[in-house]
């Protein structure tokens, strides 16, 4: 399957493969979550007779024309992308989240947020960066316009909310299925109030061409992990005009905060061009990744 296809009616049909009949409760819970958040997803369920070996997963990936979800014998939900099972797997970030700080996380150096901050992660993806942002105590609104990804995020938040030492962190995350520009417009049209706090930081991690991860001259750069490979199945990089609109709209959101200065932080591969070809006010980088900061005062 070269690219996940959505139907013209805007509903995405997904094949959900489960392993035993006792999982009907989990399946109904998943359907309820989809309905609650108005996700345009239709699940077509099928119990697997064969073992879901790696060979079987590859076969499913090659023959299916629609996204495949797997519910394994531990009731873990994943998306089968190019034969690999991918999921947010937030619990695997526990050590990093516990030790997260400005010394260890470039993102936090760039964002400069506190427990009083409100952040919009406008391109949530698998949510890993949102967790780092929320580790500071900040409130993080996670926007995801791909229904499949939004569903995986909501399922993961629901799962981790049952784990005692993750509950406070989960309560600081709000996952919304929407596109960034629509949400930015709604923020700018609503008055600032106690229930609608001003936004301090907008974080953008838009898709970029797969060859952006390496230096065109030396060939050096970061390897693309399975999560990023999967995201490339769902989304195309924005055009230059779309990049300009995204950056301008994000700046307008943080500029709407009259009490303090705001900023937009953009994540890029180290060798990728600047978003919308706009020079940032400041940059933070290592050998693999770069964070460009655009300030509004």
Same domain, 208 and 156: yes
Listed residues 86, 117, 141: the one ending a domain:
86
Low-confidence residues of the chain, pLDDT below 70?
A: 1-9, 194-195, 209-228, 230-232, 257-260
**3-class DSSP state of 169:** helix
CA 143 to chain centre: 7
Same domain, 77 and 133: no
Non-local CB neighbours of 215 within 8 Å, separated by 6+ positions: 221, 270, 271
pLDDT at 131: 98
- H-run or E-run covering 268: strand 262-269
Distance CA 159, CA 227 (A): 19
5 is a domain residue: no
Tens digits of residue pLDDT in 230-265: 666 777 789 999 999 999 999 999 987 666 689 999
**Virtual torsion, Cα 292, 202, 105, 91, nearest 10 deg:** -140
Domain housing 82: 12-86
> Strand order of the sheet with strand 12-18?
41-47, 12-18, 68-71, 77-81, 84-86
Question: In which residue are the tokens 């070996």 written?
Answer: 53
Backbone angles phi, psi at 257, to 5 degrees: -85, 105
pLDDT at 26: 95
Distance CA 174, CA 139 (A): 8
Distance CA 47, CA 114 (A): 47
- H-run or E-run covering 159: helix 147-160
| Whether the Cβ atoms of residue 76 and residue 92 lie closer than 8 Å to each other | no
1 is a domain residue: no
CATH code for position 183: 3.40.50.150
213 is a domain residue: yes
- If you average pLDDT over every residue of the chain, what do you get? 88
Distance CA 139, CA 121 (A): 10
7 is a domain residue: no
């Amino acid at each position: 399957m070269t690219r996940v296809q959505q139907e013209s009616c805007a509903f995405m049909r997904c094949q959900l493969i489960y392993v035993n009949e006792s999982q009907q409760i989990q399946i109904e819970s998943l359907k309820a979550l989809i309905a609650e958040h108005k996700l345009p997803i239709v699940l077509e369920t099928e119990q697997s007779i064969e073992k879901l070996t790696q060979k079987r997963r590859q076969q499913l990936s090659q023959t299916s024309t629609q996204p495949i979800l797997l519910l394994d014998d531990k009731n873990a939900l994943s998306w089968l992308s190019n034969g690999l099972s991918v999921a947010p797997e937030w619990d695997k970030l526990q050590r990093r989240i516990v030790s997260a700080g400005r010394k260890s996380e470039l993102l936090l150096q760039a964002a400069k947020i506190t427990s009083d901050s409100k952040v919009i992660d406008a391109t949530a993806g698998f949510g890993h960066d949102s967790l780092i942002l929320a580790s500071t105590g900040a409130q993080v609104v996670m926007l995801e316009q791909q229904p499949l990804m939004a569903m995986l995020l909501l399922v993961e938040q629901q799962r981790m909310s049952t784990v005692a030492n993750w509950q406070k962190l989960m309560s600081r995350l709000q996952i919304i299925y929407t596109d960034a520009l629509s949400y930015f417009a709604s923020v700018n049209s609503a008055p600032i109030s106690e229930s609608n706090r001003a936004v301090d930081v907008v974080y953008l991690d838009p898709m970029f061409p797969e060859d952006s991860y390496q230096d065109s001259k030396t060939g050096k750069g970061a390897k693309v992990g399975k999560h990023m490979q999967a995201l490339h199945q769902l989304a195309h990089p924005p055009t230059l005009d779309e990049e300009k609109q995204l950056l301008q709209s994000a700046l307008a959101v943080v500029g709407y905060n009259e009490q303090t200065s705001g900023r937009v932080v953009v994540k890029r591969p180290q060798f990728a061009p600047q978003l919308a070809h706009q020079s940032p006010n400041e940059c933070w980088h290592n050998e693999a990744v770069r964070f460009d900061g655009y300030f509004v005062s």
